Amino acid sequence: MTELCEHSLGEVSDLLGAGEISSLELVEANLRAIDRSEPLVHAYAHVLADEALAAARAADAEMAAGGRRSPLHGLPIGVKDNIYTQGSPSECGSRVMAGFVPDFDASCVARLRAGGAIIIGKTHCHEFAYGVNSPPSRSPWALDRYAGGSSIGSGVAVTSRSSFGALGSDTGGSIRVPASINNLVGMKATYGRVSIHGVVPVAWALDHVGPMTRTVRDNALLLAGMAGHETRDPTSARQPVPDFCAGLEAGVKGLRIGIERNYFFYAGLDAEIRAGVEAVIAHYQKAGAQFIEISLPELDMTQDALFTIVLCEGSSWHRKLIRQHADKYDPATRAMIQLGELLPATQYIAAQQARRVYREALLRAFADAKLDAMLNPTMPVTTVPQDQLNAPRADGFADTTVGSMCHHTFNANLAGLPAMSVPCGITAAGLPYGFQLTGRAFDEATLYRIARAYERDHDWHTRRAEALAGGF
């Protein structure tokens, strides 16, 4: 049999459901992949081998007795280190939280466990999913280059085949950016679709939790397993969770997709990414989708609005911790938190007002043009060498290279609408990139349908990084 880790999450779910493999075999395969890959890529802050093996044996016994709880039962999953896991370290990539072990699961983790999923390990993230410090994780696509933040370890784990799927958090693009860089599917669902209870916040008004996977179906399965209302979370939406896989193969004929070129197809857009995304548009047009050009000048206010909200809300949450443990923060993280305390309340209110103006303009554009989705490059640039992350830029996207990476993503956090990155190309230098779909509130199913219509006719999601091909 092909090494189990080469199968997608959906494929091993089917094999497990048919009784052709066991959960124990899956966990052992993941642990072997971790042993092979971790010396090189460092995806995990903590590998939970003993716990995962015990959970796999229990899952096998339960399924042998005829009780399979969900399509995720018995499947090992990685979880970002800022997401609480009961009885296991949740250190947020920071010395401030070193040794912290929560006594409860984050709501999204509790739902996954209730469905029988197994936590294989905690993945590296930037400090508090906020800092600009670079964790040790490296992508096998380009070991000397940035693997994307802040859900960096989750992206690397899935790419490295050491996890069939992983959870990330996303405040301005932290699921979609590493997904694009690592040739993965990454979904930031509608604000409130997945509870953020038990997730250490960056900015509670913008935070999302979501899945990172190799395929669209994988992603739909994982989102279904973690979504749902949480009474302890005031931001959690009272929305039923649909079967996201039900319409995956429906195609795009008759769908209306918006294109905003002034902001997303700016002159500084990488030429290879531009060509790749234009090819995606042509593919959809041939398949029967209609593209509508729209104008959203309000996009120009989104960067300043988001960064102001992040600085203010982030500083509010850290206010006590940073006074007690200032010396334990990375200097760059500490500087950002302290900067937030200098911003006046009037600036925070102005940012929230700008957010409302943008959201209303976007919703109006969707309604007026009768859009099912919008499409644009996930990132205007590919990844860069680690030592160039904070290099200045002069192309109009952002002040620094790392800032430019989320230029196309943070507007979806402000709007609270679902947005996902889908693989659509690899540059001549061997660097993956993706396109982003943004949808209507609580209509993730349509985004999955559109994404799958592209994925089934292309093989980008099957491509392997050079380090993978060499077996590490």
* Beta bridge partners of residue 433, listed in sequence order: 425
- Using CA atoms, how far apart are residues 278 and 275, in angstroms rounded to an integer? 5
Please report which residue ranges of 182-270 form alpha helices under DSSP H. 216-226, 261-264
Give Cα separations from 149 to 25, 139, 162, 354, 365 (angstroms).
31, 11, 18, 26, 30
- Using CA atoms, how far apart are residues 306 and 310, in angstroms rounded to an integer? 6
* Beta bridge partners of residue 186, listed in sequence order: 212, 421
- Using CA atoms, how far apart are residues 110 and 117, in angstroms rounded to an integer? 10
Report residue 295: phi and psi, to 5°.
-125, 130
Residue with token string 């790419």: 159
- Using CA atoms, how far apart are residues 316 and 458, in angstroms rounded to an integer? 45
Phi-psi region of 442 (alpha: psi -120 to 50; beta: other; left: phi over 0): left
- Structure-block tokens of residue 451: 């994404």
Cβ contact 192:228 at 8 Å: no
Residues 6 or more apart from 316 whose CB is under 8 A from it? 340
- Using CA atoms, how far apart are residues 230 and 211, in angstroms rounded to an integer? 18
- Structure-block tokens of residue 101: 């072990």
Residue numbers annotated as active site:
80, 150, 174
Cβ contact 331:281 at 8 Å: no
Identity of residue 432: P
Q: Which of 307, 264, 316, 286 is nearest to 435 (CA)?
A: 264
Please tell me whether residue 92 adopts helix, strand or coil conformation. coil
Give Cα separations from 180 to 58, 151, 156, 413 (angstroms).
35, 12, 11, 17
Q: Count Cβ atoms within 10 A of the Cβ of residue 234 and give its class: 0-12 exposed, 13-18 middle, 19 or more buried.
A: exposed
